[in-house]
């Protein structure tokens, strides 16, 4: 349930910024979400926060956003991550 809330909150934050720039809203993709989670776990194991340097993206129109937070300060919310981008 917490995972689903994080996704919905991130999507809502993205779409608030997109609306400010008259960009159409995004929709959540379960397939891309699963790929992003796999990549996030890889970064966590490596102890780094970096973009996909090999550009192993399926389409030219795809990209990645990476954020990192410290749990001693309460962690990083999904909306907070979007704001940092």
pLDDT, tens digit, for every residue of 17-49? Answer: 999 999 999 998 888 888 878 877 887 787 766
Mean pLDDT for the stretch of residues 56-81? 65
Of residues 17 and 63, which shows the higher confidence score? 17
8 A C-beta contact, residue 68 and residue 49: yes
Confidence (pTM):
0.66
Q: What is the mean pLDDT of the chain?
A: 76
Dihedral in degrees, nearest 10, Cα atoms 53, 54, 57, 61: 60
Q: Please provide residue 7's backbone torsions phi and psi, each rounded to the nearest 5 degrees.
A: -65, -45
Q: Which residues contact 32 (CB under 8 A, 6 or more apart)?
A: 62
Domain positions in the chain are 1-83
According to the model, what pLDDT value does residue 68 have?
Answer: 59
DSSP annotation string for 9-48: HHHHHHHHHHHHTTPPPP---HHHHHHHHHHHHHHHHHT-
């Amino acid at each position: 349930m917490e995972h689903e809330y994080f996704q919905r909150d991130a999507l809502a934050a993205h779409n608030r910024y997109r609306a400010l720039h008259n960009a159409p809203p995004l929709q959540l993709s379960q397939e891309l979400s699963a790929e992003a989670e796999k990549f996030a776990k890889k970064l966590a194991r490596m102890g780094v926060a970096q973009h996909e340097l090999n550009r192993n993206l399926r389409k030219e129109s795809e990209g990645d956003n990476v954020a990192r937070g410290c749990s001693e300060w309460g962690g990083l919310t999904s909306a907070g991550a979007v704001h940092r981008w």
